[in-house]
A and B are shown apart, each in its own frame.
Chain A
Amino acid sequence: MIYFLNALNQALFYYYLLSNLGYLVMLIIALKTSAAHLRHLESVRLHWIKGSPLAPPITLIAPAHNEEKSICVAVRNLLDLDYPELEVIVVNDGSADNTLQIMQQEFRLRLVRAVYVPQVTSAPVRGLYRSDVDVRLLVVDKEPGGSKADAVNAGLNAATSPYVCVVDADSVLERDALLRIMVPVLADPKRVVSVGGIVRVLNGSEIEGGRMRRVRLPRKSIEVIQVVEYLRAFLIGREAWARGNMLTIISGAFGVFRTDLVLAVGGYRSHAIGEDFDLVMRLHRHLMDKGADYCIQFVPDPVCWTEVPSDLQSLGRQRSRWQKGLLDVLWPNKDMLFRPRYGRIGWLALPYLWLFELLAPVIELGGIATIVLAACLGVLSSAFFLQFLLFGYAFATVISIGSVLQEELTYKRYNDWQDVARLVSYCFLEHFPYRQLHMLWRLQGLWQYLRGDLVWRPLKRQGLQSAGTN
């Protein structure tokens, strides 16, 4: 028993070590890639893309469910984006509030009949509306489909452009975000099939007329911790995975896809829990099965600002849903593991996701349990425990501070001294007790999935208009 507990404790130590080393490697790759990206961007003139008749048209799809508070600001924001050929499709996913009526008044919508070709499955459409204020705006009013994926599919059926960009209706895109996200597509239109942009935390920043006026850190600790998490996930994780063409997720809040490919894989899976992750995995599978030479890229500067949960309950729901989504995608794709046909995805990206993302809550919480058990039995080496704790803590903070450094060296959105000091301090504070709580939420997500509890629980949101008053 003692031998077994000691072995488990040692294994946990090496698991932490491996996980953090993996992140350290990603940090180094990300620092290098970001520098190269910034240099590359200097030679591209965004205003040329803006004025180019050859820039491929894009359809923006924004699903909206009970968004009456913020829908007008959000739609105006989307219509104001800099891009030469833009179509905006807002999908009213059976809202029970006045989302549609408010849009009808604000954008003078009139009922139209055509344009909708049901190529992918979606709940029945009640009507299509074209705006008299801006002809680029089309509103699809549909029966509630119970998922964002269903709403996006309705938008896909109505889309008329070779590229679609899926955005959240409650997010704020920077004015040049589309121009920036299309740079990889314009550079290599044959290979680049999809591009993801960075998603940052909106809470605490000042918004005026749907535009970002001043970037500030949120006040609540739980929100600041999420800022650190987003920086780590996007500026380090996504950047590094994309460098090796192993990006397996493009955030549902902001990503561009080739329309024909999304339609070819059957659109979004209506009942997928993590529909964004699911789509990217199916694209990988589809293209690799065909032996296509392709790449899925990540661009770190087209920014989408999104509101994150500001209370523990909502955050817990979100994180357990993400974990359910992870299992919901990884399990059906388990046949891709270690198959030569799926290359680096099968040999590196998927095993990493299984070991360090999906099983992390089980391993980490299991590890903590064995340490407690060993302590109860009096067989825990206090020196080992202290060293393990100190090492794990200090190494993890290196990664978090590294992501702040990456932000400082490259995009530098948080200019205020006070903000940077707080951001750095949360790099130290996030590991206890937030990390353990996070693991519990994730474990809960796994448990719910295995029990068949796939109910989508809404998160409490403040809406765009109040984002600045946080």
Chain B
Amino acid sequence: MGSAFETFRRLGPAAFVLKAIISVIVADVLLLGFILLRRTYRKRYFAKRDARLFELREKWDALISGEMPYATWRTKPSDRHLVETMVLDAFEVAGPEESARLLKFMRASGLVEKCIADARNHQGWRRHRALVALGRTRAPEGIPALAEGLRNRNPETRLAALRGLGQMACPEAAVEILNWVGEAGLVVPALPLQSALIYTCAERPRVLLPYLQHAEASVREVLGRVLGEVATPSLGTEILQFAEDTLPELRAAAARALSYAEPGLGVSVLSELAKDPIWFVRLRAIVSLGKLGRPAVIPFLLHGLTDSNRLVRLRAAEALMELNIEMVSIFENVAAMRDRYGLHAYLTALENAGLQAKLEAEIKASECGEQDREMLLEVLRSGTAPPQQHGSQQKVSVAVASRS
């Protein structure tokens, strides 16, 4: 009997097809086998894991207080991993006191050191897992190991280190990230970097400022978005330097931060930003003007109603509604502008806020002339701008000028 190879050789071109058939059948069997084995393995693994988890959970207090000797679980890798997971999960929901207790346990049991060692010495997914776990411990002694991970050649390791530092949620971690970004540039995707920085800079947004001045354009853009997210009144006038920045993201961030500024200063800068050529900067400025909640912002919000961008118009109208003052005089100005889109935006916001009846009543009770009153009521009912009247545009300009 000849060998299988000999048989194939004799088949000539048909052998190719036969081999192909055998290959795909083998592939089918392998795929099915893999699915089957994986399912079986996972089922057993999780059943065992759940049982052990339950045992440990029952002794939770003894475990954390150290009454249960560390050796009972430390020596077995699967148990150690379970305890680590349980403690790290507990961290996520723990208050300050509980966090301190958990951290004390992790230090005393050597889990923090183990995480640091793993984050430094392991490779591949083990290292990635250790880096993230180290971040979740929020132990400041882990920051240098995480910073080393940031400077690794492997992008996945860098990403894991970034995640870890983000979990630390402290300014020291932010400084490490910012130093690294300053050296290496944007070598990780923007979103994880942004996410990590938001968490680490929330406590002290000021740490961002020096880097914002000197970083390269792509990094500044990301930092600008972070600043927009974490800006607080503590930044004070320092934020003003970005109101005239070349990057729109930074101008938008400044606009957002200025909603917390001292009103006099805020209005003057935001009114300029509300004229920015980039729509999202104008949008942020209009929203911030609305948040200032002062009558002085009314002319700029009225101007926002005539913006070329629909979203800006709507936000300006919503901000006017939130002010909930001088409704008749504002409506008079809106009607006088004879801007159909602006009027639509205003009426939409009015209806959304359920203030239509209130405005109607106020118009009826207002002291303006009979003709004007009728005209305003008609505009309110029909939703269409009034016919052109001499001097109406001038009236708006005068109103804007008098307020500014």
Q: Which A residues lie at the B interface, using CB under 8 A?
A: 39-40, 42-45, 48, 52-54, 57, 112-115, 117, 130, 132, 135, 160-162, 183, 186-188, 383, 387-388, 390-391, 394-395, 397-398, 401-402, 404-405, 408, 417, 420, 424
Measured between beta carbons, the chain B residues less than 8 angstroms from A54 are: 225, 228-229, 256
The answer, yes or no, to whether B310 is at the interface (CB within 8 Å) is yes
Q: Contacts A53-B229, A401-B28 given; 5 further ones with Cβ under 8 A?
A: A40-B192, A45-B199, A57-B311, A398-B24, A420-B39
Measured between beta carbons, the chain A residues less than 8 angstroms from B347 are: 113-114
Per the bound structure, the CA–CA distance linking A27 and B196 in Å amounts to 33
Per the bound structure, the CA–CA distance linking A131 and B238 in Å amounts to 43
- Interface band, chain B: 35 or more
**Is A391 in contact with B17, judged by CB distance below 8 angstroms?**
yes
19 residue pairs A–B, Cβ–Cβ below 8 Å: A39-B156, A43-B163, A43-B166, A43-B192, A52-B229, A57-B311, A112-B348, A114-B344, A114-B351, A160-B314, A186-B194, A187-B189, A187-B191, A394-B21, A395-B20, A395-B24, A398-B31, A402-B31, A420-B39
Measured between beta carbons, the chain B residues less than 8 angstroms from A117 are: 310, 341, 344
Whether A48 touches B310, Cβ cut-off 8 Å, given contacts A39-B156, A54-B228, A405-B35, is no
Measured between beta carbons, the chain B residues less than 8 angstroms from A402 are: 31
Measured between beta carbons, the chain A residues less than 8 angstroms from B199 are: 45, 48
A-facing residues in B213-234 (Cβ within 8 Å): 225, 228-229
A105 to B: closest C-beta gap in Å:
19
**Is B198 in contact with A420, judged by CB distance below 8 angstroms?**
no
**Is B162 in contact with A43, judged by CB distance below 8 angstroms?**
yes
B104 to A: closest C-beta gap in Å:
27
Q: Which B residues lie at the A interface, using CB under 8 A?
A: 14, 17-18, 20-21, 24-25, 27-28, 31-32, 34-35, 38-39, 132, 156, 159-160, 162-163, 166, 189-192, 194-196, 198-199, 225, 228-229, 256, 310-311, 314, 341, 343-345, 347-348, 351-352, 354, 383
Residue in A40, A183, A395, A404 whose beta carbon sits within 8 Å of that of B35 in the complex:
A404
Measured between beta carbons, the chain A residues less than 8 angstroms from B256 are: 53-54
Measured between beta carbons, the chain B residues less than 8 angstroms from A183 are: 191
Per the bound structure, the CA–CA distance linking A57 and B283 in Å amounts to 12
Residue in A44, A161, A424 whose beta carbon sits within 8 Å of that of B191 in the complex:
A44
B184 to A: closest C-beta gap in Å:
17
Measured between beta carbons, the chain B residues less than 8 angstroms from A188 are: 190
Whether A424 touches B192, Cβ cut-off 8 Å, given contacts A52-B229, A114-B348, is no
**Is A162 in contact with B163, judged by CB distance below 8 angstroms?**
no
Measured between beta carbons, the chain B residues less than 8 angstroms from A390 are: 21
A401 to B: closest C-beta gap in Å:
4
Per the bound structure, the CA–CA distance linking A404 and B36 in Å amounts to 12
Chain A to chain B: the 4 pairs with minimum beta-carbon distance, closest first: A187-B191, A43-B192, A394-B24, A114-B347
Whether A115 touches B35, Cβ cut-off 8 Å, given contacts A53-B229, A398-B27, is no
Whether A113 touches B191, Cβ cut-off 8 Å, given contacts A53-B229, A404-B35, is no
Greatest chain A CB density within 10 A among B159, B229, B351 is at: B351
Taking CB as reference atom, which chain B residue is nearest A398?
B27
Measured between beta carbons, the chain B residues less than 8 angstroms from A383 are: 14
**Is B24 in contact with A48, judged by CB distance below 8 angstroms?**
no
Measured between beta carbons, the chain A residues less than 8 angstroms from B354 are: 132
Measured between beta carbons, the chain A residues less than 8 angstroms from B14 are: 383, 387
**Is A394 in contact with B25, judged by CB distance below 8 angstroms?**
yes
Taking CB as reference atom, which chain B residue is nearest A428?
B28
Whether A401 touches B39, Cβ cut-off 8 Å, given contacts A113-B347, A117-B344, A130-B351, is no
Measured between beta carbons, the chain A residues less than 8 angstroms from B24 are: 391, 394-395, 397-398
B173 to A: closest C-beta gap in Å:
14
B353 to A: closest C-beta gap in Å:
8
Measured between beta carbons, the chain A residues less than 8 angstroms from B166 are: 43
Residue in B132, B341, B352 whose beta carbon sits within 8 Å of that of A130 in the complex:
B352
**Is B311 in contact with A45, judged by CB distance below 8 angstroms?**
no
Per the bound structure, the CA–CA distance linking A187 and B17 in Å amounts to 47
Measured between beta carbons, the chain A residues less than 8 angstroms from B156 are: 39
Per the bound structure, the CA–CA distance linking A132 and B196 in Å amounts to 39
Measured between beta carbons, the chain A residues less than 8 angstroms from B352 are: 112, 130, 135
Measured between beta carbons, the chain B residues less than 8 angstroms from A135 are: 352
A17 to B: closest C-beta gap in Å:
8
Per the bound structure, the CA–CA distance linking A42 and B135 in Å amounts to 13
Residue in B28, B159, B383 whose beta carbon sits within 8 Å of that of A398 in the complex:
B28
**Is B195 in contact with A45, judged by CB distance below 8 angstroms?**
yes
**Is B28 in contact with A394, judged by CB distance below 8 angstroms?**
yes
Measured between beta carbons, the chain B residues less than 8 angstroms from A48 are: 195, 198-199
**Is B383 in contact with A114, judged by CB distance below 8 angstroms?**
yes
Per the bound structure, the CA–CA distance linking A279 and B309 in Å amounts to 23
Measured between beta carbons, the chain A residues less than 8 angstroms from B345 are: 114
Measured between beta carbons, the chain A residues less than 8 angstroms from B341 are: 117
Per the bound structure, the CA–CA distance linking A420 and B55 in Å amounts to 32
Taking CB as reference atom, which chain A residue is nearest B20?
A391
Taking CB as reference atom, which chain A residue is nearest B253?
A54
**Is B28 in contact with A113, judged by CB distance below 8 angstroms?**
no
Measured between beta carbons, the chain B residues less than 8 angstroms from A417 are: 39
Measured between beta carbons, the chain B residues less than 8 angstroms from A420 are: 35, 39
Per the bound structure, the CA–CA distance linking A117 and B340 in Å amounts to 10
**Is B32 in contact with A408, judged by CB distance below 8 angstroms?**
no
